[in-house]
A and B are shown apart, each in its own frame.
Chain A
Amino acid sequence: MTKQAKWYMLTLVGKDRPGIVAHVTAALYEAGANLGETAMMRLGGNFTIMMMVQFPGSRRELEQAIATETDSLDLTVHIDPIEAHLHAHHEPDVRITVYGADRAGIVARVTGVLAEAGLDILDLESDVAGTAEAPIYVMQIEGRAREGIPALASALEIVRAEGVDAHLEPVETLVG
């Protein structure tokens, strides 16, 4: 792989079925592409993956290189040119868990309050648990507390007062 090959963010969405990742990555490999960071998730039974792909051709050529697979697997394809900042991870220093009865606006409310208190989100996952009649919302956030952890703790007091359960713990990364 040459240094000049461009980086793309390749996003695939479709119905989950066995072997999607293996099929698509094999096609990418055969087309001379190189993978960077990737994340695959199953969201509500849907297959979703985002892959940093380094590829020595155009966006169109990348799309064509995997077309046989994405067509047969019925995947929606989205490709964006990106800048690849590899080897420059930001480490989280705080982890926040929020849960409660599912209700509209909970993510916006919680993340809004936390952003104001200096949280940079590095990773966010949320889930709807419980039953269809009584859904529970669970959100886990990892991030960096730009203005310190006490500022975030005070911010969480606000959402707690509104009836959402929330707690926070520092992430101490051991290096040894």
Chain B
Amino acid sequence: MAVLDILTYPDPRLKQVSAPVTDFDEALRAFVADLEETMRAGPGGVGIAAPQVGEFRRIVIVDVSAKPKTPNHGRLVLVNPEILEWDGMVKGREGCLSVPDFTGNVIRAARIRLRAQDEHGEAREYEMEGYEARAVQHEIDHLDGLLFLDRLVSKRHDLFRRKVYAK
């Protein structure tokens, strides 16, 4: 196990789109263990995506269970994640391990339905809301080369609540 180096903006690699994982082997699981250790080494990190450590594969880890009174699924390893449904919109403050010393407001879906594989290739579906759903959306953005900086809204932005569904 090892703590990996985190790419920080303006490293252009953070804008790269990651490729799907096809081999669910020991090497993948060893990488997931390193990625998790890297996430837990940072202060307050609740999620991490493989491209943040320079591995352009569709793997994210999220664990918001340390936050009190937050509904969650515990430690989640999401390989090839895909959001199936979005519902509601919530504005919240985000920062990023790859963007030191800056936080800002971002609008995310309040609830999502998600399909992903685990580190053994097993397909799973999750329904999640709130902080955990926000973390997953932030990390999946990394897989598509997007940073929360690409989604900043004004702190005075009016939030109109309406439903959004997947295409």
Interface residues of A (CB under 8 A from B): 87-89, 91-92, 123, 125, 140, 142, 171-176
Whether A176 contacts B102 in the complex (CB less than 8 A), given A125-B156, A171-B93, comes out as no
In whole angstroms, how far apart are the Cα atoms of A88 and B100 in the complex? 10
Q: How many residues of B contact A (CB 8 A)?
A: 27
Could you list 29 examples of A-B contacts with CB < 8 Å?
Answer: A87-B100, A88-B101, A91-B93, A91-B95, A92-B93, A140-B155, A172-B67, A172-B92, A172-B93, A172-B131, A173-B93, A173-B94, A173-B103, A174-B47, A174-B92, A174-B93, A174-B95, A174-B134, A174-B138, A175-B42, A175-B46, A176-B46, A176-B48, A176-B49, A176-B62, A176-B94, A176-B96, A176-B135, A176-B139
Q: Which residues of A contact B45 (CB under 8 A)?
A: 175-176
Interface residues of B (CB under 8 A from A): 42-49, 62, 67, 92-97, 100-103, 131, 134-135, 138-139, 155-156
Nearest 4 CB-CB pairings of A with B: A176-B47, A173-B93, A175-B95, A176-B138
Whether A91 contacts B103 in the complex (CB less than 8 A), given A174-B131, A176-B45, A176-B138, comes out as yes
Main secondary structure of the interface of A (DSSP, over half): loop
Contacts A87-B101, A174-B92 known; list 15 others, CB within 8 Å.
A87-B100, A89-B101, A89-B103, A91-B93, A91-B95, A142-B155, A172-B131, A173-B103, A174-B47, A174-B94, A174-B95, A174-B135, A175-B43, A176-B135, A176-B138
Closest Cβ neighbor of A89 among chain B residues: B101
Q: Which residues of A contact B92 (CB under 8 A)?
A: 172, 174
Q: Which residues of A contact B95 (CB under 8 A)?
A: 91, 173-175
Closest Cβ neighbor of A87 among chain B residues: B101
Q: Which residues of A contact B94 (CB under 8 A)?
A: 173-176
In whole angstroms, how far apart are the Cα atoms of A107 and B96 in the complex? 34
In whole angstroms, how far apart are the Cα atoms of A175 and B100 in the complex? 10
In whole angstroms, how far apart are the Cα atoms of A176 and B48 in the complex? 5
Q: Which residues of B contact A89 (CB under 8 A)?
A: 101-103
